[in-house]
Amino acid sequence: MANSLLFIPDISGFTEFIQTTEVEHSQHVIAELLEVLIQSNTEDLQLAEVEGDALFFYKEGEVPSQERLLAQIESMFIAFYSHLKLLKENRICPCNACATAPNLQLKIIAHCGELQFIEVQGNRKPFGKQVIEAHRMLKNSVDSDNYVLISKSLASEIGLPIYYYSKLFKFREGIDIYDSKELTYIYAIIDSELLQLKPFRSIEKVVLPNPPNLTYSKNIALSAEKLYEYISNFKYRHLWVNGVDKFEYNENEINREGTEHICVIKEKHLDFTTVIKEVKKGELIYGEFTKSPPIVDTYYQFYTITPLSKEQSNLKIETYWFVTSPIKKFIIFLIAKRKINKTIIDTMENIAKLTSIT
């Protein structure tokens, strides 16, 4: 039988990250990163298993060339660190999970050998000695949490020298003992500063030329962090927004600057984008922007949260709209402003009632 490739990207720092941060957001961060790694699969690798913080890939009966394997490894590191930079630059959430996500790192284990397979509930999965060896090499003596490790057998298969040297990869030899058997490998610590990261749309803070058209403020018996979560997490939106049939959004993504969601009202789709603006130190800000309502050209709504004590905050809702048409201005003055004001008051009252579900 021809040799097969075994390939395991593993997120370093996962256990501590999950245990010391907000559970829901940390799960979303890891899910996003795993999805990014899967999408960066350039070698048509088969995904055998999602193993918590790791992905177990294989390529049956084929081992990519040295050039292709190193390119696949580099592609995954680029995808991983590009997404971490996106999480950092466009973050709006103050929670510990979102704040510390950029500290996560990546290690990749690559091995080869003859594979056997077993079938579990209709799924064909790699099985046997080589699979065990690949997973054991995750526990090694490499003094880093950000590296690629290639087994000696795989390096020999693709003709990769022990001390291969390039701008990104500087390999050296290592050896560990597993079950009284020595496993030799080569490894390279990856400097993320050398990666050509993918560009992404960095969102600037909104600067508005005029004061808000409407402002409403109220003290809420919730901590600033909890109140911010209720407002910025779309899964709670139905609890405090009236008149919306449903909210459409990516349930596996943390809300950040540039995130889009849709409000469906009587079969009409209103598109919103998450934005923020400058606030005083210690305050939290969440905002949304839309061009969907036909009565306005652009519409912004901001929620500014000021901590008052451990379990109480002040919430200020500010609404801005911009209109050029004289007819639209007249309609807003005559009808719409009153409706918008009532909506804001109802929203604030609904948010105040959220204390009953904590």
* pLDDT tens digits, one per residue of 48-70: 999 989 999 999 999 999 999 99
Give bridge partners of residue 299 from the DSSP assignment.
Answer: 290, 321
How confident is the model over 201-230, as a mean pLDDT? 92
Q: Residue 357's pLDDT is what?
A: 67
> pLDDT band at residue 358, thresholds of 50, 70 and 90?
low
Q: Residue 1's pLDDT is what?
A: 65
Strands (E), the chain: 4-12, 46-51, 54-59, 105-113, 116-120, 123-127, 147-151, 172-178, 181-189, 214-220, 246-248, 260-265, 268-275, 284-290, 298-309, 312-322
* Best CA proximity match to 313, nearest among 266, 278, 252, 354: 354
**DSSP percent split of the chain into helix, strand, coil, nearest 5:** 35, 35, 35
> pLDDT band at residue 328, thresholds of 50, 70 and 90?
confident
C-beta separation of 218 from 88 below 8 A: no
| Rounded Cα–Cα distance for residues 90 and 345 (Å) | 30
pLDDT tens digit string along 74-105? 999 999 999 999 999 999 999 988 999 999 99
How confident is the model over 317-321, as a mean pLDDT? 95
Backbone region of residue 261 per phi and psi (left: phi > 0; alpha: psi in -120 to 50; beta: other values): beta
pLDDT tens digit string along 136-156? 999 999 999 999 999 999 999
Q: Residue 308's pLDDT is what?
A: 97
* Best CA proximity match to 36, nearest among 86, 71, 103, 70: 86
C-beta separation of 212 from 318 below 8 A: yes
Long-range contacts of 49-52 (CB under 8 A, 24+ apart): 49/125, 52/14
Q: For residue 243, which phi and psi values (nearest 5 degrees)?
A: 80, 5
Q: For residue 65, which phi and psi values (nearest 5 degrees)?
A: -65, 165
* Best CA proximity match to 351, nearest among 217, 215, 214: 217
How confident is the model over 185-202, as a mean pLDDT? 92
Strands (E), 179-257: 181-189, 214-220, 246-248
Mean pLDDT (the chain) is 93
Q: Residue 176's pLDDT is what?
A: 93
DSSP 13: T
> pLDDT band at residue 229, thresholds of 50, 70 and 90?
very high
pLDDT tens digit string along 22-39? 888 998 999 999 999 999
117: pLDDT strictly greater than 70: yes
> In degrees, to the nearest 5, what angle opens at C-alpha 277 toward C-alphas 274 and 279?
135
Greatest pairwise CA separation for the chain in angstroms:
84
Q: Residue 47's pLDDT is what?
A: 96
How confident is the model over 118-129, as a mean pLDDT? 87
